[in-house]
Copies of this chain bind each other. A is one copy, B any other.
Amino acid sequence: MQLRFLGTSAGVPTRTRNVSALALTAEGQRRWTLIDCGEGTQQQLMRTPLSAARLEAVFITHIHGDHCYGLPGLLASASMAGRQTALIIVGPQAVRDYLEAVTTTTGLHLGFDLIHVDAATLVDNPLTLSDITVRTARLSHGVECYAYALEERHVEASLNVERLKAEGVTPGPLWGRLQRGETVIDEQGRQLSGADYRLPARTPRRLVVAGDNDTPDLLAPICQDADVLVHEATYTEAVIEQRGTDNGHSSAARIAAFAERAGLAQLVLTHFSPRYVSHPGATPSISDIDAEARAHFGGALMLAEDLAVFDLSRDHRLYRCE
């Protein structure tokens, strides 16, 4: 499963970081999903192999402009490129109101349907897409805001050899057909269904992508068994203290400490205030965020960059590959 960051800046774009958007592609699949869609996301997509024609669903964490102002343009361009396949839009109710208001006031006619799904309904009832299932958890950010837990659906099968042996099914090509899920007749004339003899070869990969949030502990239930948490670290503690407010955001320290408490193995930070710059010696710097997080989290820590690609492999480990 590949995570491709399209925007990693908080609030406003900078020369090197666009506003929030993250693409998720399941292994070997051409369908993909988008989490948040700040202004300029369609321009960022032109710098990747992804096409809006293959986009299956868009998840919006919350209604703030830096997370959704790229949506009308993305939809309009997909329509002009001939898309006819319906697109699933998941988010707070405000996202639906926003899109309906924009399409009405600007006369935007899409050549495909939008299937709106209220993110609140996915807290208890997961949404099943082609390659993933998705649940939500409510966060704290002033406006209605969500984290999305995305779990892969199609885990390779291994054979339940113990059961086959116990039932006296003779090893041979028939075992391979059962592993592929076929229904077969064995030497003894028994009809055997592959579904009864298949076991998942491993646990499914699971990642949580959170919206803006000042209360990391709200993520505890949804982060159980997660391989990776992607979360904002808009500020360092020093800047929050200097500003006198966290503006509904987490510091690097707070989200890192949560990840440590929750026993997470891997944490990706993103959504950095534009005040943190990347060139050496600058103050404050992105390296301040990195250092503050490392002081509180002993697992694998990564800081997102625009167009960075991370691979969550079948062994549940996250590697940066681009």
What residues on B are CB-neighbors of A47 within 8 Å? 15
Pick from B13, B94, B102: contact of A98, CB below 8 A.
Answer: B102
CB-based contact B73/A106 at 8 Å: no
Number of interface residues of A (CB under 8 A): 38
Interface residues of A in 85-116 (CB under 8 A from B): 94, 97-98, 101-102, 104-108
Chain B residues with Cβ below 8 Å from A80 are 11-12
CB distance from A10 to the nearest CB of B (A): 10
Residue A40, interface by CB 8 Å: yes
A156 to chain B minimum Cβ distance, whole angstroms, is: 38
Partner among B43, B64, B66, B68 whose Cβ is within 8 Å of the Cβ of A43? B43
Whose C-beta in chain B lies nearest to the C-beta of A10? Answer: B80
- Chain B contacts for A298, CB-based, 8 A: none
**Cβ < 8 Å to B, chain A residues 33-78:** 38-40, 42-43, 46-47, 63-66, 68-70, 72-73, 76-77
How many copies of this chain are found per oligomer? 2
- A143 on the interface (CB 8 Å rule)? yes
Residue contact A42 to B65, C-beta cutoff 8 Å: no
Q: Is A25 an interface residue (CB 8 A)?
A: no
Q: How far is the CB of A301 from chain B (nearest CB, A)?
A: 28
Given contacts A14-B46, A80-B11, contact A65 B69 (CB under 8 A): no
Q: Whole-angstrom distance between the alpha carbons of A136 and B62 in the complex?
A: 39
Instruction: Flag whether A321 is at the interface (Cβ < 8 A).
Output: no
B40-A43 in contact (CB<8A): yes
Give chain B residues whose Cβ lies under 8 Å from the Cβ of A64: 106-107
Cβ-defined contact, A18 with B39, below 8 A? no
Question: A76 CA to B70 CA in the complex, in Å?
Answer: 13
Asked whether, in the complex, the Cβ of A39 is within 8 Å of the Cβ of B73, the reply is yes
Interface residues of A (CB under 8 A from B): 11-15, 18-19, 38-40, 42-43, 46-47, 63-66, 68-70, 72-73, 76-77, 80-81, 94, 97-98, 101-102, 104-108, 143
6 contacts between A and B (CB under 8 A): A13-B42, A38-B73, A39-B43, A39-B69, A68-B106, A94-B106
